[in-house]
Chains A and B, each alone.
Chain A
């Protein structure tokens, strides 16, 4: 927990440093607006003093001039306010764009292995919603955390120039705020975080119950659950109110300090003014009244940044939550260890594949998936992997795809160790069809061109025909330009698999990896897909992982991982088992 907190604090500090640079214009505007506010207060005070006791010394500007100056300052301040808002929003946007880039980059670097640990919805929420929620941290909290000292300091200093006593009162009352925050604030900080957590938990519960609404309704538990939801919300309210009672004291301390400052200044200056009035010196009286009003008008300006800080505190709470979620992502450093430029040997009909004493464990505690596994697939051959789930079928395929690397041993493709190949070379060698292809939000055409965006119309047409996509594409509402994927036209499992086959044709790689490509299809569709895959397999090396029916779909050797594991743990060289030796 304390380690977690350290990570969080380090993240917050690093982000604050980065964010502060972007928040510079916001702070600049805030400081200038503070200065303008002082000018405004001076103009207003002078006008009032003139109205009350007539012009003071001869050096005083005329009434019209003062009004014009005040109007000018007001325009300037409005401009600074708007500029400050715009640049705060810009700082927030800049930071979010940067963070989103980092997170997406980290997700891409982490690759498919990341999906074993984290749910895709969770990662999406991190990259989208969590980062959106951070806007306030960069747009409001960071500027506020600097301005709350700078602006009151500036105002108090200028007030002290005019009236040292009143300036002192402001500073003393201003200092009382951090003291008050320290007394109640420690509680408030904890309370605010707890409240945020409790709130998040309630929201999660609500979301969970709504997602499972069908289950609840069909179990006849809707009333029960509604009652429980109400109870949970009420419980949250009672607990939250208990902490808010303390938390609000800290902002009450700002109010209190401001009222005390106001009253003290009125009492002190009031006394002075009265003495002067009885003295009868009109010029000195006007001057004193102007000064007193000036200081009085500055009091709300003095406390405004303190209030802004208290308001921005919840933005900080959001940041802490996001920090721990982001801390889990893979680091930004890319291992540039080896010069990866090796080029594999390609033959006419595919490329050879060999595993040499490969050992791999997903989790050291659960033991290796396979130990010292060795097998060879000559170019153009077809190898079928069989075995119960967990035997390592998918692991072999993911290793060839480069999603994971062996703990020891080598994986050779075209006679070259995968580890020495540049990623682009590696991905150029391999086509892959999994259980359910991901269809991206976009048209059918875009989804197929995903495999090779620069493919020309002829190549596309050939791939469509070979994969028999053209057979169903014609029936779609807008043919090839029908939107599919999220929010688009739904394709059936078989149709989606045909899109994947068309992708593979377009890519035309020498090694074809098939990972249970028909697991979710009915038998009729399954046999059609296998027929297409047999054509696709011509002139390529194929490694197929499949259940019962799949084994009969391709002629060729089988590798039974389950048997190997049970009967010969840590087997050495394992010759591919001939077809027919496998019982399914």
Chain B
């Protein structure tokens, strides 16, 4: 699986609890709220216990003629139960939403700050989507695991302390059963869940690949008449997933049943003690109260087995999320000095590889690009043309040699200021599901309306945008104005042009465009970039580019080629 290359190894080696603790560490700032939610939830649980105990005790008291629990207590605990439960749900949900936002923002910053930016640079879109679903899996951590677990931790002493004075043996017995039902079984489910979750994740990924093959290969399938074969292939993968889920469901059902039996055994023990069969005897009137307490207490722990099974999957997700940015890609030196005014670029004996176990992309690369020059760097796909952009943009750093910008070593320059000097446009340049205006403003947040239109016009897409009913406020992406691939590229170009960066790095900017559109696009490019350094990275030239110099990459070096 491809995610193994990113973080799988690190994630699998690690203990299940460490990453979860790391995620919980993020919530320190939210601790008061989260704790308040948990406490309220405990109080609501307590009110429920008191209510059931009170109801039982009152009936018993009336029948037996002993001390009668007051109706006031009953009513008060009833009202408290309803109100506390309501408030608790509001507070815990509010806390959960805040915690959730924290995780997302943290994950985003981490991804942006670390080497993982290089990951996005290398177009690992699907991998990133999978990570996002891992982040979403963490949603259940607080509401579905931490809060109920805290509840169980309160119920246990409450049960033991309530039963202990009446009959210590019974207290130990009931306490033991509760520990099994609320802690041992969920823990077993969690351990099992970890293993099962891995298998199921794997099979789900298999199914997804099978379906993706079927969908993207629709042309091939139709052309080769392979409908039946592909369908049965996808069905087989679906069946494998369902078999795995069936086994998990059976195991969970058995564990749920056993957990229920723990509760019932505790009820039986209390009843036996009341009757004096084997245990006790204990006073019947108190016994009734205890019985109701035991029922309510075990009921509160009933969902923990399922939560345990969930925890297995969550801890795996947490491990993958935490591992992001730790292990992937070569480290990038953090510079401190601002970029100089000059924009001459020089590669001096640069060697580079993405990973230690991968072949070198560059080996003693020398290259000089003068301020304002227009150069092309050519080479077949996979030769490392994009790595060149990555090095310039400080997404990656050379393993040896150095890159000079305006006479200073790139490694010593602060990456933010370097990126202000360079505008980057490639096929991987993302158009966000947002308005055209918001997409453009990313290039220069303080741009005026007039600036935006100028940029759109220079990218020759102004008329298209003017024709949209909502103009600049038209929505791009899913559910939005559907622009053609070429128009989308032009909007991305407009964004690149908006930035006043003196260096433009254009990495296969026309990929995916048909020949005619490509020519128009490149012609436009020439007209609108006058005065700036242009580095065009491509696998071939179309013939309309007007260039000062052309380099061809081969064997990790750049060779001058005829213009």
Contacts and interface: CB of A to CB of B under 8 A. Distances in A.
Contacts of B275: 47, 50-51, 63, 67
B74 A266 contact: yes
A464 to B, nearest CB: 17
Given A111-B218, A124-B212, A237-B98, A132 B204 contact: yes
Contacts of A251: 89
Contact of B222 (A112, A210, A266, A428): A112
Contacts of A521: 539
Contact of A427 (B98, B222, B443, B540): B222
Contact of B429 (A49, A215, A523): A215
A219 B419 contact: yes
A222 B249 contact: no
A57 interface: no
A248 interface: yes
Interface string B483-507: 0000000000000000100000000
Given A241-B94, A438-B217, A220 B419 contact: yes
Contacts of A63: 275, 277
Contacts of B382: 490, 492
A212 B430 contact: yes
Interface in B69-126: 71, 74-75, 78-79, 81-82, 85-86, 89-90, 93-94, 97-98, 100-101, 104-105, 107-109, 111-113, 116-118, 120-121, 125
B69 to A, nearest CB: 9
A117 to B, nearest CB: 10
Contacts of B420: 220
Contact of A255 (B81, B117, B221): B81
A143 B82 CA distance: 27
B199 interface: no
Contacts of A212: 120, 430-432
B97 A548 contact: no
B65 interface: yes
A240 B213 contact: no
Given A112-B222, A241-B93, A273-B63, A107 B433 contact: no
B219 interface: yes
A21 interface: no
Interface string A423-454: 11001101110100110110000000011010
B108 A248 contact: no
A104 to B, nearest CB: 6
B261 A438 contact: no
Contacts of B357: none
B204 A523 contact: no
Contact of A438 (B82, B131, B216): B216
A407 B182 CA distance: 67
A255 B88 CA distance: 13
A77 B229 CA distance: 45
A565 interface: no
Contacts of A86: 249-250, 253
A210 B128 contact: yes
B83 to A, nearest CB: 8
B64 interface: yes
B322 interface: no
Contact of A248 (B86, B117, B131, B239): B86
B443 A248 contact: no
B231 interface: yes
B520 to A, nearest CB: 10
A438 B419 contact: no
Nearest to B539: A522
Contacts of B246: 89-90, 93
Contacts of B62: 270, 273-274, 277
Given A105-B231, A214-B428, A47 B274 contact: yes
Given A85-B252, A507-B224, A523-B540, A108 B85 contact: no
Contact of B89 (A207, A224, A248): A248
A263 interface: yes
Interface in B245-289: 245-246, 249-250, 252-254, 256-258, 260-261, 264-265, 267-268, 271-272, 274-275, 277, 284-285, 287-288
Interface of B: 1-2, 51, 55-56, 58-60, 62-65, 71, 74-75, 78-79, 81-82, 85-86, 89-90, 93-94, 97-98, 100-101, 104-105, 107-109, 111-113, 116-118, 120-121, 125, 128-129, 131-132, 135-136, 204, 207-227, 229-231, 234-235, 238-239, 242, 245-246, 249-250, 252-254, 256-258, 260-261, 264-265, 267-268, 271-272, 274-275, 277, 284-285, 287-288, 291, 295, 299, 380-382, 393, 395, 416, 419-420, 422, 424, 428-434, 442-443, 445, 477-478, 499, 511, 514-517, 539-540
12 contacts: A48-B271, A70-B268, A93-B242, A120-B212, A127-B211, A204-B433, A212-B431, A224-B445, A249-B86, A267-B71, A389-B516, A547-B514
Given A108-B231, A218-B121, A492-B382, 10 more contacts: A51-B288, A63-B277, A100-B234, A104-B235, A203-B132, A210-B120, A216-B112, A219-B499, A503-B224, A523-B540
